[in-house]
Amino acid sequence: MTEDAYTTSELLAVMSSRVLEDGQTIFAGVGIPLLAATLAQAMHAPGLTILFEGGVLGPFIVPGELPPSTNEQRCTRRANMVLSNTDVLLLLQRGYVDIGFMGGAQVDQYGNLNSSFIGDADDPKIRLPGTGGGNDIASLTKVIVAMVHEKRRLVENVDFVTSTGFWHGGTSRADDGLITGGPSQVVTDLAVMGFDADSKRMKVEALHDGVTSEEVRDKTGFDLLFADNLKITEPPKEEEIAFLRNLDPDRVYIG
């Protein structure tokens, strides 16, 4: 498909879905995370289980009836189990969740996320929703971040650490007691990035078709690492885009 045949949100959903694996349990919110997880179930991971922060394990997502929040009744349709919020977080603590989908206004070179405020803490320019369960997710499981690639979003240092990534890099996350989890991939409309095994700095692993390394550098607020065997992702397939548009016919999330 050509680039103008799909939206940025569709691209993010497709690329995020491809990093998910069969048999995983995915902590997902509404929007791109839910679209990506449902697409993965349909295309290559039929044994993938979706977990909502509101307490729903294994929901059945009906095309055209996407829930507006993880606490909405449509989330519970044909679910395997409905738990309390406390029990959901206990699943995280016990290591039963493989991947947590996260978002934020800012992410830095070590995968720390900010969803609290932009600017100075005493006089912020913008107030954001805050953590919710985000810090629990980021602290206890591997994390995938999906966002538009902009210099104002990928910053050298976030204005506030709402959800901890690899902290200051190196072993600092584990040194401060977070011995499991951490950022796994950052998926943007330009590239798919992981993290260097030693320094824990963000590293570009694959560019989307037609994107150059210079374009990624220009739209990033810090010096990125690039993998030696840099790959090019396969563009979204017609069947992937068709599935997403059937799932979200009103284009609430896919734009």
Active site residues: 53
Residue 167's SS3 state is coil
Contacts of 7 (CB under 8 A, 6+ apart): 254, 255
Q: What is the CA radius of gyration of the chain?
A: 18
- Dump strand ranges (E) for 41-199: 49-51, 56-57, 81-82, 99-102, 106-107, 113-114, 117-120, 123-127, 142-146, 182-187, 191-195
Pairing of β 191-195 and β 113-114: unpaired
User: Counting Cβ atoms within 10 Å, is residue 239 exposed (0-12), middle (13-18) or buried (19+)?
Assistant: exposed
Residue 91 has phi, psi (to 5 degrees) of: -60, -40
